[in-house]
Chain A
């Protein structure tokens, strides 16, 4: 089951949820927006999140 069902429940289910509300707005100002003070780790390539 497992992975196929997870794809349907999590990925497809999530995508439907996201589409159900009004559309996100493209924000041209974002292109010039500077990162917030706490954005980004000291590792410029980014990191990941530990889980179970």
Chain B
């Protein structure tokens, strides 16, 4: 098996697990948000997003298997909250929505649009297209929820917590050297960004989309900027 095919199989298998976790998270958060903001469109969006993510899980797992790596997913998986214990229910929900949607789903959209600007094998491209249509909504629902909360509740508490969200989002290898046998062209054709491109997309998305978005909606992004400068500066 080529290095690109092996790495792509691992990436799609990882994505299958990420999508499964997202489905569980959105189902749980939909109920919590509906409890304190019944007029919000976000819970309904989250229920639909959970369905999307279950479909994405299947797509990603099928692709990983076609590339040579069968994926074993837990049928009765559970997912705990990632919010700090000190937060009350409403703030914990906001923390998790910002981490999952405003940061991670926004980063995923940037990755997808970058990939789709290139060329892939037909089956891979079809999957990328299908997923990207849904991920737009998944990112938006995070910004929608933050927008609603910023209008009526205190959201500034998030500022110092964003570095923790970011630290939990990245792979430790993101700012390291690529594998010696990395095949950038082969990876792109199989729907995976080479490491240097992945890093560029991650940084660009934070600096030009996520941080300005947080600031627009009342969250100080300076602690996150300082965290990023420290982590990226260690390259």
Contacts and interface: CB of A to CB of B under 8 A. Distances in A.
A45 B90 contact: no
B224 to A, nearest CB: 11
A48 B90 contact: no
Interface string A1-19: 0111011011101110111
A48 B169 contact: yes
A44 B161 CA distance: 11
Nearest to A13: B140
Contacts of A13: 140, 143
B84 interface: yes
A36 B87 CA distance: 10
Given A21-B40, A48-B103, A48-B167, A30 B89 contact: yes
B140 A14 contact: yes
B58 interface: no
Interface in A1-52: 2-4, 6-7, 9-11, 13-15, 17-27, 30-36, 38-41, 43-52
Contact of B204 (A3, A20, A41, A45): A3
Interface string B75-112: 00000111111111111100110011001111111111
Given A24-B148, A48-B166, A50-B104, A14 B139 contact: yes
A6 B209 contact: yes
Contacts of B161: 45-46
B39 A51 contact: no
A15 to B, nearest CB: 4
Nearest to B142: A14
Interface string B214-225: 001100000000
B232 interface: no
Interface of A: 2-4, 6-7, 9-11, 13-15, 17-27, 30-36, 38-41, 43-52
Given A2-B110, A30-B90, A46-B161, 12 more contacts: A3-B204, A7-B212, A10-B106, A19-B148, A24-B151, A25-B152, A27-B36, A34-B89, A35-B87, A46-B168, A50-B14, A52-B111
16 contacts: A2-B204, A3-B208, A10-B213, A17-B144, A19-B151, A21-B41, A24-B148, A27-B153, A34-B88, A34-B89, A38-B81, A40-B81, A41-B81, A47-B167, A48-B104, A48-B164
List the 9 closest pairs (A to B, CB-CB), nearest first. Answer: A48-B168, A14-B143, A40-B85, A18-B144, A18-B147, A14-B140, A22-B39, A3-B208, A11-B213
